[in-house]
């Protein structure tokens, strides 16, 4: 018979066979009738219902295609950038994730024309391939929410001067970004970060 002491199990760990207990929440049954865990959690055997459950210990943040995410540009190359995802759909994540941002399809310009390292962006999750998130800033309303000067690290402000749209008041550098409608709106950024303004 199955030992019923509370224990922590990992996904894929064998719990019992169908003859002993039926598959409940957090479990699955293999083709040969073995019940195994699908999540990290505590095993609970319900003798009345003859079911085994795995109660999740820590709920992971689930990001899906179509989510709007808040991220920080960590690394930048001419055709791609690594983004650290901080939040999704208006709330911070418990566990930060990494995503890839690719250059605008068909564009010959470097991605550095649209974002820079340190920038805080709003992006949309376009695909998840083998656990790797891909995000886009190319739809209207998405892009840089806070531009950071790649020269001195200061926060840049909106400006309209020739081909430039951001300006660093500290080192007086003009630059360009693909800005979103919320660029420079500190209240919006603070609300994402859960801070009071």
* Co-location of 89 and 177 in the same domain: yes
The CATH number of residue 130's host domain is 2.40.50.140
* Co-location of 128 and 182 in the same domain: yes
Residue 187 lies in a domain: yes
* Co-location of 77 and 154 in the same domain: yes
Taking only the tens place, the pLDDT of each residue in 11-50 is 778 899 999 999 999 899 988 999 988 877 889 999 999 9
Residue 112 lies in a domain: yes
Q: Above 90 in pLDDT, residue 73? A: yes
Taking only the tens place, the pLDDT of each residue in 10-22 is 777 889 999 999 9
In terms of C-beta density within 10 A (0-12 exposed, 13-18 middle, 19 or more buried), how is residue 173 classed? Answer: middle
In a 13 Å sphere around the CA of 43, the CA atoms on its Cβ side amount to 25
Residue 63 lies in a domain: no
The whole-number average pLDDT for the span 75-99 is 88
* Co-location of 45 and 129 in the same domain: no
Q: Which of 18, 34, 56 is the last residue of a domain?
A: 56
Residue 22 lies in a domain: yes
Q: Above 90 in pLDDT, residue 8? A: no
Residue 165 lies in a domain: yes
Number of domains forming the structure of the chain: 2
Taking only the tens place, the pLDDT of each residue in 109-153 is 999 999 999 999 999 999 988 778 999 999 988 999 899 999 999
pLDDT, mean over the chain: 85
Domain of residue 133, residue span: 68-193
Per cent of the chain over pLDDT 70 is 86
Q: Which of 178, 171, 170, 172 is nearest to 116 (CA)?
A: 178
The CATH number of residue 18's host domain is 2.40.50.100
Task: Note the pLDDT of residue 120.
Answer: 92
Q: Is the pTM of this model over 0.75?
A: no
Q: Are 27 and 37 in contact (CB under 8 A)?
A: yes
Residue 61 lies in a domain: no
Task: Return d(Cα 109, Cα 48) in angstroms, integer.
Answer: 65
* Co-location of 41 and 85 in the same domain: no
* Co-location of 163 and 113 in the same domain: yes
* Co-location of 51 and 73 in the same domain: no
* Co-location of 48 and 72 in the same domain: no
* Co-location of 83 and 112 in the same domain: yes
* Co-location of 43 and 101 in the same domain: no
Task: Return d(Cα 76, Cα 98) in angstroms, integer.
Answer: 13
* Co-location of 119 and 188 in the same domain: yes
Residue 3 lies in a domain: no
Q: What is the band of 185 on the pLDDT scale with cuts at 50, 70, 90?
A: low
């Amino acid at each position: 018979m199955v030992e019923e002491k509370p224990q922590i199990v990992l996904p894929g760990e064998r719990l019992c066979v169908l003859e002993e207990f039926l598959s409940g929440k957090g479990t699955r049954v293999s083709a040969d009738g073995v019940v195994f865990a699908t999540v990290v959690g505590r095993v609970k055997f319900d003798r009345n219902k003859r079911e085994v459950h795995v109660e999740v210990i820590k709920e992971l943040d689930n990001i899906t295609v179509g989510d709007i995410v808040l991220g920080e540009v960590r690394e930048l190359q001419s055709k791609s950038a690594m983004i650290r995802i901080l939040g999704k759909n208006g709330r911070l994540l418990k566990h930060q994730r990494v995503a890839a941002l690719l250059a605008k399809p068909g564009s010959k310009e470097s991605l550095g024309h649209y974002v820079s390292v340190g920038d805080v962006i709003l992006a949309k999750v376009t695909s998840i391939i083998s656990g790797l998130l891909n995000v886009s800033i190319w739809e209207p309303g998405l892009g840089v929410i806070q531009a950071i000067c790649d020269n001195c690290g200061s926060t840049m402000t909106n400006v309209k001067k020739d081909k430039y749209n951001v300006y660093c008041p500290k080192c007086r550098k003009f630059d360009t970004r693909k800005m979103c409608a919320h660029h420079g709106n500190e209240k919006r950024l603070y609300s994402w970060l859960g801070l009071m303004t």
